[in-house]
Chain A
Amino acid sequence: MIQIKDLHKSYHMGSNSLHVLKGINFNVKEGELVSIMGSSGSGKSTLLNILGMLDEADQGQYILDDVPIKNLNEKIAAKYRNEFLGFIFQSFNLINYKSALDNVSMPLYYKGVKRKERTERAMHYLEKVGLAQWSHHLPSELSGGQKQRVAIARALASDPKVLLADEPTGALDTKTSYEVMELIQGINDEGKTILIVTHEDDIAHMTKRIVNLKDGLIIDDSSVEQIRASAHV
């Protein structure tokens, strides 16, 4: 599903140059649930941003679902993000003046789906995350865990190939974190490819594979025995 070869990325701040990714190689197959770990500054967020086409690599190859991601202009990048990717953020990033339902239907809106179908599909995903009865509430009326579940429903709405989650449990307490992970595991069980950036060990062990980053290089990449979050809830 994802193939990355010799990926480099540097940031330039004035005369200083910061080499963040120093040649990343890794592949993700369809249906995998991968966690990317590393201390802050290891380059894990940068990697995720490049995978998410929010940022561009300086050098290297990135193939997503057999489509080479190269020299994108913003218009095409937006289209690819909409079709291929679903984002889950640490701070949820829901639009605060829109109801849960409208938040979830937003990717469908940008995809050009008609209003009626959009509402139906958004409602379907809200049901899936167990928030159907909250569909008309604003984000401010929801708890942190509920917000993240709305965000997950939103990420799923356009039926993307890959879900990219940047510290999805970073703003949640342990119990809520496990509930969110249970949901993510369930989605993965249905076959969705998911990448999670985290620095929490327990969260990482709820995935099937842990990729460890240090100073812009992969120092460890191994499959792990998945711990079911449901055991902790």
Chain B
Amino acid sequence: MNSMFSRDRWDEILEALNANKFRTLLTAFGVFWGITILVLLLALTNGLKNGVTADFGDFATNSMFMWSQGTSKPYKGLPKGRYFNFKIDDVAALKTAVPNLKYVSPRNQLGGFNGANNVTRGTKTGAFEIYGDYPEYIKQQPMDILQGRFLSYSDINAKRKICVIGTGVLNSLYDKGEPVLGTYIKINGVNFMVVGSFKMSNSQGDEEQDANTIYMPFTTFSQAFNRGDTVGWMALTAQDHVSITTLKPQVFNIMKARHKVDPTDDRAIGHFDLSEQFGRVNGLFSILSFVGYFVGALVLMSGIIGISNIMLIVVKERTKEIGVRRALGASPWAIKSQILQESLMLTILAGMVGISFAAFIIWGMNILLDYYGPVDNFANPSVSMQVIFTALIILIVSGVLAGLIPANSATKMKPVDALRID
């Protein structure tokens, strides 16, 4: 008869809410505050997460690094404490034996932290990190190529003496505006042609180190710096549907077998499992957002109890009015649904204002962050649409919950008794 959303019903509700504006406002404030805190907590958690995960850079998270260490057990007549190197044919062996590995990149390095000057160009010199790499490496460590290109397989096969340089290298070896591509730099006395320059995508914190980096083909590196067929370490990335952590034992066993290492010798091969670390951080933030939801929901709940409370008072105050309405032919459901709708609307309106207010604060935070530059472990506080929808659903459910008890109490009294009240 009286549909939930007819204009008449809205008029009724607006009239009722308008009849006591100040109280309506105070009541709504509880929910407003609750939802604001809920959204802000989630946004801050998100900001923290963004900040911390940015430290992982863009490196493919389903990856691990693996290197050889001295053996700790004698095996097959070989003594313990024996040092061994991974070889270049280990890469092909791993790829065939473990098809779930997406990328296996052997790497070699020259120079490093606080290293001596190792690169010169004319009169300019600098100390940089030099890596021998395969073309896949850019898929594991995303970079933005600013000029020219990255390494290619024809570079690998032809052992071309070319290199790709970071922005830090570029700035210290070249004048502003000087052409870069096709020029030569001397690395440890060997000339290399520069074919490209890059910067790390979305890198944070270690930008300088990242950008003070030179990449050259792995094969060229081995030949130019006398590494033979040895591999310094490997960067392995698993296929998207498998975790690198589950592939680890298989990879280690193959490498141990190929290098005559006791299968139980866990110290012979060192590794760093990025996915495990990432998972740990992600887990931490799942807990943090759960805490955010939990605390926010609790604060919101006190707001909802406030609404419920006020609605009870409103019902009590309007007992006589409700009696009159029932004498005029209002069914119990008509009365109940109106009370429910009043509390629902109050909750949702207050909630929307709260969400907007929280969004405004988040916007302000982002402006401040932009203005004062990046802060450690905190970046881009934000909430997704999903969170907003979740908050809205929480609001709707809580609006109904808030109205339930008052709505029931509104029709509990017999009309004759309700009419008698003054």
Contacts and interface: CB of A to CB of B under 8 A. Distances in A.
Interface residues on B, range: 20 to 34
A109 B2 contact: yes
Given A74-B411, A95-B324, A112-B1, A82 B416 contact: no
Q: From DSSP, what is the main secondary structure of chain A's interface residues?
A: helix
Contact of B332 (A52, A78, A82, A111): A78
Nearest to B318: A95
Interface string B8-24: 10000001101100000
Contacts, number: 69
B329 A158 contact: yes
Contacts of B1: 110, 112
Interface string A50-73: 001011000000000000000000
B15 A78 contact: no
Interface of B: 1-2, 7-8, 15-16, 18-19, 320-321, 324-334, 411, 414-416, 419, 422
Given A110-B2, A112-B2, A115-B8, A78 B329 contact: yes
B395 to A, nearest CB: 27
A26 interface: no
A164 to B, nearest CB: 9
Interface in A32-55: 49, 52, 54-55
Nearest to A155: B328
Q: From DSSP, what is the main secondary structure of chain B's interface residues?
A: helix
A91 B331 CA distance: 23
B314 to A, nearest CB: 12
A138 to B, nearest CB: 11
Contact of A111 (B15, B16, B329): B329
Interface of A: 49, 52, 54-55, 74-75, 78-79, 81-83, 87, 89, 91, 93, 95, 97-98, 106-107, 109-112, 115, 154, 158
Contacts of A107: 328-329
Given A89-B419, A106-B325, A115-B7, A98 B15 contact: yes
Contact of B415 (A54, A82, A109, A112): A54
A20 to B, nearest CB: 12
A157 to B, nearest CB: 9
Nearest to A93: B324
Contacts of B333: 75
A75 B330 CA distance: 8
A110 B333 CA distance: 11
